[in-house]
Structure 1
Amino acid sequence: MIERTALVQYCDELLEKQAFQDYCPNGLQVEGTPRIQRIVTGVTASQALLDAAAERQAQLVLVHHGYFWKGEPLPITGMRYRRIKTLLDNEMSLLAYHLPLDVHAELGNNVQLARLLGWEIDGGLELGNPRSVGLAGRVRQACSGEAFARSLEQGLGRAPLHIAGSDRPIRRIAWCTGGAQGYIEKAVALGVDAYITGEVSEPTVHAAREHGIHFFAAGHHATERYGVKALGEHLAERFGIEHEFVDIDNPA
């Protein structure tokens, strides 16, 4: 068992929380019981995840997508009320890290995705940014766009959307998990053969075709399952607490 304050402080320092200006508050978002023995991790603090955590008698829920995003309505009503009430009724804390969890060099979403799929990392997607939100690298063996799509489906358990802006083999790639389709121009500037992210927008299709680059939308949820799971496993090993990753299915 560990004190909540000590666990939160450790995570804040490990993920360099203070180094980021984000779209939401990172760190402790809802305060629960002061001592932690069991944590549940998941991608998003949805009602389904909170219910699963309560069933498992967790004291803390750790997620990538928490609450209080910029531009959201402020009143705690409806869906927001029900979620927060579940946390308070069960004395569960909510701990959330967005950009800090994307970019971490060991536990981050982008690094974990590369490890899962066997990609070699050789730099950042954003040149000159030591905390680049995306990464660049290469595949171990050059392959066609169709073969690359099959490897994504096999690794992530869902078929990606593939925009074949080129028929050239894929060697060098860039990627950014989640909703980073707007970074396709950064990938183009690096001269890679393919860019991989979670989501697609209407302009992304035209950009891929006109720039002559393979584009893959592999799923926001599907590409961001691995950072928070790795962080939970790290905390369990370091502090001797119990951890379970709960995957709430989401096709987006």
Structure 2
Amino acid sequence: MAVALSTLVAEADRFLDAARIADYCPNGLQVEGRPQVRRIVSGVTASQALLDAAVEAEADVVLVHHGYFWKGEDACVVGMKQRRLKTLLANDISLLAYHLPLDLHPEVGNNVQLARQLDIQVEGPLVPGDPKVVGLLGSLSEPMKAGDFARRVHEVLGREPLLVDSDALIRRIGWCTGGGQGYIDQAVEAGVDLYLTGEASEQTFHSARENGVSFIAAGHHATERYGVQALGDYLARRFALEHLFIDCPNPI
């Protein structure tokens, strides 16, 4: 079957409630391609590698978490940006991107989907009432050592995580996929035993050590693979479309 591009975009916007969320980039349709959609290719980032794979897969739409046109970005269409846009336009492929709306969503969001992968029970937002902090709080069914939980992360995500171990058992967990290391202080205030995110900064080590919490950096890319897959699956079911997730490995 096929669906109109405008119908697909409208449903994705509605489902994620994208219009209400202030973000660092435009959410929704970023590059317009052919008017009818039969096949969606999803991926974490609209890199050249993903675009080339989408062309090979004869995609009509590329659906990503990390798209283009970020605040503060040079607006000139040159170099890498020119090559990426040329690939989309020359092949009449649309680019559909959702950043914070995909982090926040209670069903297909990156944070909720990562919790399902790691068997964490979601309890609520990391910072209640602050929509700018997209992380969550939750707990494990039974206390365990941080090293054992890090092994679970490794097994699920297929990437060796960075672990700062407080040597205490963990049960209460805070997390924010991607580049959420700056929220460790809010996690400490929320009383977590462990904070998990994608990346780490130099000062993150000291915050974890001096506040007596464990910390895991499991990879920006690795922690954000699941939301876009879930959204692609939802749209494919909704409109009887083909959906293919393509993972372009990224060690960061």
Q: TM-score range by the shorter chain?
A: over 0.9
1:136 aligns with 2:142: no
- Which residue matches 2:70? 69
Cα RMSD (Å) of the superposition? 1.0
User: In the alignment, is the contact (CA less than 8 A) between 1:103 and 1:131 conserved in 2?
Assistant: no
Aligned residue pairs: how many? 251
Distance 2:133 2:204 in 1: 21
Distance 1:129 1:181 in 2: 17
3-state SS, counterpart of residue 76 of structure 1: coil
Distance 1:42 1:128 in 2: 30
Distance 1:9 1:222 in 2: 28
Q: Residues 156-167 of structure 1: matches in 2 within 5 Å?
A: 156-164=157-165, 166-167=166-167
Distance apart, 1:128 and its partner CA? 2.5
Q: Residues 214-229 of structure 1: matches in 2 within 5 Å?
A: 214-229=214-229
Q: Percent identity?
A: 59
Give the TM-score, by structure 1 length: 0.98
- Which residue matches 1:148? 149
User: In the alignment, is the contact (CA less than 8 A) between 1:38 and 1:60 conserved in 2?
Assistant: yes
User: In the alignment, is the contact (CA less than 8 A) between 1:103 and 1:132 conserved in 2?
Assistant: no
Distance 1:251 1:135 in 2: 24
- Which residue matches 2:3? 2
1:172 aligns with 2:165: no
3-state SS, counterpart of residue 122 of structure 1: strand
Distance 1:131 1:112 in 2: 19
Describe the superposition over 1:127-151 as per-residue Cα deviations: whole angstroms up to 9, x where unpaired.
2246851111101221111111101
1:237 aligns with 2:237: yes
User: In the alignment, is the contact (CA less than 8 A) between 1:53 and 1:61 conserved in 2?
Assistant: yes
User: In the alignment, is the contact (CA less than 8 A) between 1:181 and 1:197 conserved in 2?
Assistant: yes
- Which residue matches 1:14? 15
- Which residue matches 1:186? 186
* Structure 2 alignment gaps of length 5 or more: none
3-state SS, counterpart of residue 128 of structure 1: coil
User: In the alignment, is the contact (CA less than 8 A) between 1:195 and 1:213 conserved in 2?
Assistant: yes
Distance 1:109 1:87 in 2: 25
Distance 1:50 1:128 in 2: 37
Distance 1:131 1:104 in 2: 13
> What amino acid is aligned across from residue 202 of structure 1 in structure 2?
E
Of stretches 195-204 and 134-143 in structure 1, the one that deviates more from structure 2 is 134-143
Give the TM-score, by structure 2 length: 0.98
> What amino acid is aligned across from residue 197 of structure 1 in structure 2?
T
Q: Residues 193-208 of structure 1: matches in 2 within 5 Å?
A: 193-208=193-208
- Which residue matches 1:29? 30
Q: Residues 30-49 of structure 1: matches in 2 within 5 Å?
A: 30-49=31-50
Q: Residues 79-118 of structure 1: matches in 2 within 5 Å?
A: 79-118=80-119
